[in-house]
Amino acid sequence: MSESLPGAPPTSATRQQLWWFDLTRGRWAALAVLRRRLGSRALLRLAATLARLELGPDPLAALAPPLDRREELTRAQLRPVLLLDAALAARGHDSAARLELLRAVVGESGAAFLGHELRGWTRARFQALDPAGREGVLRDLLARFFNMHAHPVADEAHDLGFDVGACLFAQLTQRLGRPELATLFCAADEVFFARPESPLRLERTETLAEGHSRCAFRLDFA
């Protein structure tokens, strides 16, 4: 059977976990951004338009069926973004305004996802491990991010490093003819790692979404 990310380890993530995160964290983070940016009345009108669109055609219908669970789960994260974009367009927002608002929404909801996955990470806990243990912990963490294929990279200048060689968000948005949407998902990293409560700080000068051959993540404990 073909794989969406050849060579990537199997993911343990499930649709139920993704649904539960969205219900308890992701959706509320997105709503907070929309209410703050649009106001309560405009948000209600947008919600009505979005509900109507959700009953219509799948915005991913033009693509072939997903190759595996990784792609299925990534589509589940991408689909609400496409629907929200269509709802904003229907409410009269131009392309620049939509992209800026989507960046804020995806940034906040994605940051909530990262915070959930990185809970418990501290410098002391990580440094108590030997080099093999550190790499194992990092590999286990990277495997939980089903939308990408990444591997640890040794970098003496930073506490942690990994390179993303393939990203399903970049692949799917390219296939949809909407490559500009891939950068929205990079915003989640920028939002989360810039927060004072984040255990790590991010340095990233290359991303697949911007046309580079990798996403180069270099991280240091705060």
Nearest partner of 193 among 168, 166, 159, 169, judged by Cα: 159
> Which pLDDT value is given to residue 82?
98
- Domains of the chain (ranges plus CATH)? 15-221 (3.90.1520)
pLDDT in tens, 40-70: 999 999 999 999 999 999 999 999 999 999 9
CA angle (159, 164, 167) in 5-degree steps: 145
Helix (H, G, I), strand (E, B) or coil at 164: strand
DSSP secondary structure of 13-52: --HHHHHHHIIIIIHHHHHHHHHHHH-HHHHHHHHHHHHH
Banded pLDDT at 1 (limits 50, 70, 90) = low
Give percent above pLDDT 70 in the chain.
100
Q: What is the mean pLDDT of residues 93-103?
A: 97
pLDDT in tens, 135-151: 898 988 888 899 999 99
> Which pLDDT value is given to residue 150?
95
Rounded-to-integer distance, Cα 143 and Cα 146, Å: 6
Q: Which long-range contacts (CB under 8 A, 24 or more apart) does 101-104 make?
A: 101/33, 101/34, 101/37, 102/181, 102/184, 103/183, 103/184, 103/187, 104/33, 104/37, 104/187
Banded pLDDT at 2 (limits 50, 70, 90) = confident
Rounded-to-integer distance, Cα 109 and Cα 121, Å: 20
pLDDT in tens, 77-97: 999 999 999 999 999 999 999
Banded pLDDT at 152 (limits 50, 70, 90) = very high
Place of tokens 């194992």: 136
Q: What is the mean pLDDT of residues 165-171?
A: 97
Q: Which pairing describes strands 215-221 and 148-152: parallel, antiparallel, or unpaired? A: unpaired
> Which pLDDT value is given to residue 141?
87
Is residue 30 packed enough to be buried (19+ CB in 10 Å), middle (13-18) or exposed (0-12)?
buried
Place of tokens 């072939």: 64
Rounded mean pLDDT of the chain? 94
pLDDT at 99 over 90: yes
pLDDT in tens, 117-141: 888 888 898 889 998 998 898 988 8
Q: Count CB-CB contacts under 10 A for residue 214.
A: 16
Those residues whose C-beta lies under 8 Å from the C-beta of residue 12, and which sit 6 or more positions away, are 143, 144
